[in-house]
Structure 1
Amino acid sequence: MAIKLENVGITVRDLEAAIAFFADLGLTVVGRDTVSGEWTDTAVGLDGNHVNIAMLRTPDGHGHLELFEYIHPTAIESTPTRPNEIGMHRVAFSVDDIDKALEIAAKHGCRPLRGVATYEDICKLAYVRGPSGIIVMLAEELKQS
């Protein structure tokens, strides 16, 4: 059986704010829609499902995020996850300049959870709390000499 990752879906509080954050990091909106009806109720297991969605693509063309803003049923606020909680943890991006990526994140009020770490001589990385509490990992590969 062949398998391919299509996208990562994330429910957000404010679709426009989330789009702005990820677009500033370099992702491109490739589609938007509002969906509802029996097929969506069946697919996601929620009666009366009605949602605004946006599909974003990474610049390399391989990675996709699908962002959901629920109209009905009402989105449920929850405490943002912590890195050691079981379940959906984070979305990670390779960047060519972590300092620039962190400046962009800061313009959206998103700061590192603790700071920038260097993993051996392989990469610099930081976890930031993104829109709607999403944990976003940014990693810059260190140039090998």
Structure 2
Amino acid sequence: MPIKLENVAIAVRDLEATIAFFTDLGLTVLGRDTVSGEWADTAVGLEGNTAKIAMLQTPDGGGRVELFEYVHPDAIETEPTLPNEIGMHRIAFSVDDLDEALEVAARHGCHPLRGVGTYGDIYRLTYVRGPSGIIVMLAEDLRKR
């Protein structure tokens, strides 16, 4: 059976702030909408749900991120996940210049969890805590230098 990853969806507390973070990193907004109705209730499994959504795409066109902010029912705040917790872990992006990407992240108040590491002679990488507590991995391929 052929299978293709369509997108990764992330619930956020502030859609506009999260869009700003990801677009500053280089993603583009493909579309926005507010969704609700019987089809949404059925697909999502929440009665009477309404959400503002945005679909973003990476510059290469290969990756998509769907962001959604619940209008109804109220969003449930949780503690941000830790790197070793079971469940959805992080979203990862390769970047041409890690230092530049970290400057962009810092403008949004997002900083490395600990610092920048180097994996052999292959990657410089770090995890930052993004909007709504999302863990975002940023990695620069050192072999492209």
Q: Which runs of 5+ in 1 are unaligned?
A: none
**Secondary structure of the equivalent of 2:124?**
strand
Residue 125 of structure 1: CA displacement?
0.1
Name the CA distance, whole Å, in 2 between partners of 1:100 and 1:75: 33
Letter of the 1:63 counterpart: G
The residue that corresponds to 1:26 in the other structure is: 26
Amino acid at match of 1:75: A
Establish whether residue 83 from structure 1 lines up as the match of residue 83 from structure 2. Answer: yes
User: How has the CA–CA distance of structure 1 residues 144 and 66 changed in structure 2, closer, same or farther, with 3 Å as cutoff?
Assistant: closer
Deviations 1:12-47 (A, max 9, x none): 000000000000000000000001000000001000
TM score, norm. by length of structure 1:
0.99
Provide the residue aligned with 2:99 in structure 1: 99
Residue type matched to 1:5 in 2? L
2:130 matched residue in structure 1: 130
What letter is aligned with 1:43? A
Tell me how far 1:143 sits from its aligned partner: 2.3
Match of 1:7 in 2: 7
Deviation at 1:124, TM superposition (A): 0.2
- Using the TM superposition, give the Cα deviation of residue 144 of structure 1 relative to its aligned residue in structure 2, in angstroms: 6.2
Aligned mates of 1:125, 1:93 — CA distance in 2: 10
Count residues in correspondence. Answer: 145
Whole-angstrom distance in 2 between the partners of 1:49 and 1:2: 31
- Please list every run of 5 or more consecutive structure 2 residues that lacks an aligned counterpart in the other structure: none
Q: Does residue 139 of structure 1 match 2:142?
A: no
Q: 1:39–1:144: structure 2 CA closer, same or farther, 3 Å change rule?
A: closer
Corresponding residue SS for 1:48: coil
Identity %: 76
Displaced runs of 4+ in structure 1, greater than 4 A? none
Q: Distance in 1 between matches of 2:115 and 2:138?
A: 11
What letter matches 2:106 in structure 1? A
Measure the CA separation in 1 of the matches of 2:86 and 2:144. 34
TM-score (structure 2 length as normaliser): 0.99
* Shift in Å, 1:122: 0.5
Change (3 A) 1:58 1:80: same
Alpha-carbon distance in structure 1 between the residues aligned to 2:64 and 2:49: 22
Q: Distance in 2 between matches of 1:85 and 1:40?
A: 29
